Amino acid sequence: MKLVTRNTDYGVRSICYIAKAKGRVVTVAELCQQLKIARPFLRVILQKLHHKAILNAAKGRKGGFTLNKKSSTISLLDIMCIFQGEEGFLHCRTLGKKCDNMPVCPLRRRLKKLETDFFAELSKITIKSLIDEI
């Protein structure tokens, strides 16, 4: 089971770096160099974050990225949902259809509670709190 994907990890690292720039436009080249992430891969991640209104994008010769939101309002759960989807980790599917046992399954009930608690904790972890720990 993968808890955090590479895209999520690179997205969080990029957002933290941009947040630490405190409003200065950060170029893709700078991010690639500082974070050691391949440019084509990073561009896709940054474009997705821009499309989801996490980042502002400035075009042109002095183009790059800034935060579109305060770092204290961007949670790890927000970033995980962008790159990993919002479905959670309980899929309860067999051969592409929902499991017939879902309504009475004691395992699902227990795991659903854990998932709910886990997501609540992820929503408390903000970009600001991650930066403050560095």
Over the stretch 5-44, which tens digit does the pLDDT of each residue have? Answer: 999 999 999 999 999 999 999 999 999 999 999 999 999 9
Q: How confident is the model at residue 1 (pLDDT cuts 50, 70, 90)?
A: low
Look at residue 82 and tell me whether its pLDDT is greater than 70: yes
Confidence (pTM): 0.88
Q: Does 17 map to a domain?
A: yes
66 is a domain residue:
yes
The domain total for the chain is 1
What is the distance between the alpha carbons of residues 17 and 26, in angstroms, rounded to a whole number? 9
Mean pLDDT across 42-48 = 97
Note whether residue 92 is domain-resident. no
Closest listed residue to residue 13, CA positions, set 101, 131, 132: 131
The pLDDT score that the predictor gives to residue 86 is: 81
Mean of the pLDDT values across residues 61-86? 95
Strand 64-67 relative to strand 55-58: parallel, antiparallel, unpaired?
Answer: antiparallel
> Could you tell me the CATH number of the domain that includes residue 70?
1.10.10.10
Q: For residue range 91-124, list pLDDT tens digits in order.
A: 777 667 788 888 888 888 888 899 899 999 999 9
Task: Classify residue 100: in a domain, yes or no.
Answer: no
In a domain, 108, yes or no: no
Q: What is the CA radius of gyration of the chain?
A: 18
